[in-house]
A and B are shown apart, each in its own frame.
Chain A
Amino acid sequence: MERNPMRRQLASMRKSLFDQGYLDEQFMELEQLLDDANPNFVEEVVTLYYRDSARLILNLDRALERRPLDFSKLDGLMHQFKGSSSSIGAKKVKAESTLFREYCKSGNAEGCMRTFQQLKKEYATLRKKLETYFQLARQIGPMESANRPK
């Protein structure tokens, strides 16, 4: 009842995340892993991702401050970050990671730095959106979350 509008809201929020390219199919893969035992699985994974990737972001920041830039190290760090991001379906973040690596490979320092800034923005934006999303999902209730439209 009161949940219906919330559910609708949740559904539309979700849809827009996909439509706007913030999330890709991998996120759906995660959703499929939801079950009664782990109704908040996706949220848990995303939380873990943000916690763990914060460390990578920090390392990348530090590495980008060094002069000259160590491209191979940057590439390695970004590779890890990309792997993580792609596993939760963070589409835009992943795209920026790929671009960053391209710049690393071609030794384009400025490209790297620019891309990284962009990446951090996308990273932060996605986080906010997902936080909102999960909050709403939790309000609706675990069962509902589990049943959210795929």
Chain B
Amino acid sequence: MNSSSGKSYMSTASSSVIWKAGGDVVADQFPAGLRVLVVDDDPTCLMILEKMLKACQYNVTKCNRAETALSMLRENRNGFDIVISDVHMPDMDGFKLLEHIGLEMDLPVIMMSADDGKNVVMKGVTHGACDYLIKPVRIEALKNIWQHVVRKRKNEWKDFEQSGSVEEGDRQPKQSEDADYSSSANEGNWKSSKRRKDDEDENDERDDTSTLKKPRVVWSVELHQQFVAAVNQLGIEKAVPKKILELMNVPGLARENVASHLQKYRLYLRRLSGVSQHPSNLNNSFMNPQDATFGPLDLQALAATGQLPAQSLATLQAAGLGRSTAKSGIPMPLVDQRNIFSFENPKLRFGEAQQHVNNNKQMNLLHGIPTTMEPKQLAGLHHTAQSMGNMNMPVLSHGSQSSQNNPLLMQMAQPQARGQMLNDSTVGLAPRLLSPMGQPMLSNGMATNVSTRNGVPENIRAPSYNPVSQTSSMLNFPMNHTSELPGNSFPLVSTPGISSLAPKVAFQEDVNSEIKGSVGFMPSYDIFNELTQHKPQNWELQNVGMMFNTSQHSNSLRGNLDHTQSVLVQQGFSTGQNRNSTVISKAMFSAGDSTGHVNAQNGNQHLNSLFVDNTVRVKSERVADAAPANLYPDHFGREDLMSALLKQQDVIAPAENNDFDFDGYSIDNIPV
């Protein structure tokens, strides 16, 4: 398997960096060593693909059954960077596998088929595939698949940042880029499908994200609330898109929108539960996405089961946010989770009612995005870790948040218009970095609204500030943040996590842009393009911000660059804070990156899963590191980060190899 390769493309963004430190130049060799899982029931094609991928210097694992592939992925979440799957398989439909992967692992998935009909290709898009290859596949088409990994990470990262200004300008270029990215065979298809998408289907409510070419359903706060309410009503286990759609009764909303949103949401929940619980969550969250028992809003229960994420969300949302967090009985881990949730709804924590209100807003945005978390983490990583005592918490939160957010974001973002996404994603992603960031994002991609979010940003900070939050008050986390966090808008940057903030800001923008597109992961090409574009801009900011904290920066930078998301997540964990952010961001990006491509759904999912994974992992590992800064500096020098960042800026696609390990954010690798 891929993981057998010496270099572990650790999921953590920092891994690439870390590896370097370890003497492994995996990162530098990117995309060489990219761990690819290829699934196809046709042995001839499988053999050829394997050979071709090896010729591209990728680490290939082949599989002729979808079930086997899924279990491989589940067993080794961070063992792969990207999945290539055939559409027609005897034991499971390729799209179903795509959904699973998106939901559970949040990896970029490329579909392939001899069928080049528009409908099939469109299906790939709607299910979140980040690309679609027509058979027979040529090696040229495979040479560039790494871009999806980068893009995904980038998008994730972006979500963090959520720069309120997701600009169309960003998107536009992205779009064209996306087009370029598509395998040559599919270019025509993609473009035409893109156009068609715009005209037809699901994404009708485009958000303010303006130039979004593809109309996407924008999951506004209200819409998301409706969604969550419907899900809670049905019970997370039984929540199927069709029923949710019926319950929501929103005209113009398609089942597919709901489906992708649900996916993200699930991932988010999973992340939440997984993240905070970290010990338990890690396993739980990932393993049992379905476990999330929505029943009791009780966070405790949730947290305990690791299902917290899902539940937390549900609870949070359903319970009016305030509740969930308060559930106190919840063990710390829960708290984390809750915090995560809280972050999402920073407000929630505070005063349930108010929180709720606020949170809702925020939450909605954040849904997928533990917005608060991220920023907090980044910013307060240091603090939180320390103060929290349970660094895990914050870190986790971050991670979880990120992941959570991501899932949410992803889910939310997916179907929706980017604008929405931004909000969400920013929230989620951004939170990691900056809570404020997330907020602005929420506002609809207005990254600038950080201030509004105050709660959010603060939350982020909260971790650092509130040691208390850790314990049961994880919930408070977000809440506290509000109070604590001084600046809503990016001013957070000023907070200790400045470094993180800075990047955050950047992230936000990115996130925003991401969100716009699709929470960062959204496949919408437009979005990604824009986001990607956006990113570079943010990067600048980040760089600036980063400057503040070397350690933090490195992390942040890393995150920004590649995996904003993952980096953030990871970073949060590993370095304890700074790194985490970076890591998270990286993770995020990874997730996000892929979205650039058609991965609307998957992207998000992927991201989410990535996040979840990463966050969770990171947390456990990293949390220990109270001193975030130290973690990474060794590995990747600022220079790396900066250069990576800068590079990112210039080239959205070429992820800096160094910075993120595309492996998928395995947090584990993060050297603690």
Contacts and interface: CB of A to CB of B under 8 A. Distances in A.
Interface in B124-140: 135-139
Interface residues of B, number: 20
A139 interface: no
Contacts of A86: 114, 135-136
Contacts of A48: 43-44, 47
Contacts of A89: 136
Nearest to A53: B44
15 contacts: A26-B138, A33-B52, A35-B55, A38-B51, A41-B51, A45-B44, A45-B48, A48-B43, A48-B47, A79-B88, A83-B86, A83-B88, A83-B113, A83-B135, A88-B44
Given A79-B115, A84-B42, A30 B135 contact: no
Contacts, number: 62
B45 A84 contact: yes
B42 A80 contact: yes
A30 B42 contact: no
A72 interface: no
Interface in A72-122: 76, 79-80, 82-84, 86-89
Given A33-B52, A87-B136, A82 B114 contact: yes
Nearest to B137: A87
A147 B49 CA distance: 22
A29 interface: yes
A87 B51 CA distance: 13
B139 A79 contact: no
Nearest to B135: A83
Contacts of A26: 136, 138
4 smallest beta-carbon distances between A and B, as pairs? A83-B114, A87-B136, A49-B44, A86-B136
Nearest to A83: B114
Interface of A: 26, 29-30, 32-33, 35, 38, 41, 44-45, 48-49, 52-53, 76, 79-80, 82-84, 86-89
Given A41-B51, A82-B114, A32 B139 contact: yes
Interface in B27-68: 41-45, 47-48, 51-52, 55
B139 A33 contact: yes
A87 B55 CA distance: 17
Contacts of A29: 52, 136, 138-139
B114 A52 contact: no
Contacts of B137: 87
B488 to A, nearest CB: 54
Most buried by A among B43, B48, B51, B136: B136
Contacts of A35: 55
Contacts of A33: 48, 51-52, 55, 139
Contacts of A38: 51
Contact of B44 (A32, A76, A79, A87): A87
B116 to A, nearest CB: 11
A84 B88 contact: no
A26 B114 CA distance: 13
A29 B138 CA distance: 7
Contacts of A82: 114
A21 to B, nearest CB: 16
Contact of B135 (A41, A44, A53, A87): A87
A30 B48 contact: yes
Nearest to B40: A83
Contacts of B138: 26, 29
A21 B55 CA distance: 27
A49 B47 CA distance: 10
A30 B52 CA distance: 8
Contacts of A49: 44
B88 A87 contact: no
Contacts of A88: 44, 48
Given A26-B136, A80-B41, 8 more contacts: A29-B136, A32-B139, A41-B51, A52-B42, A82-B114, A86-B114, A87-B136, A89-B136
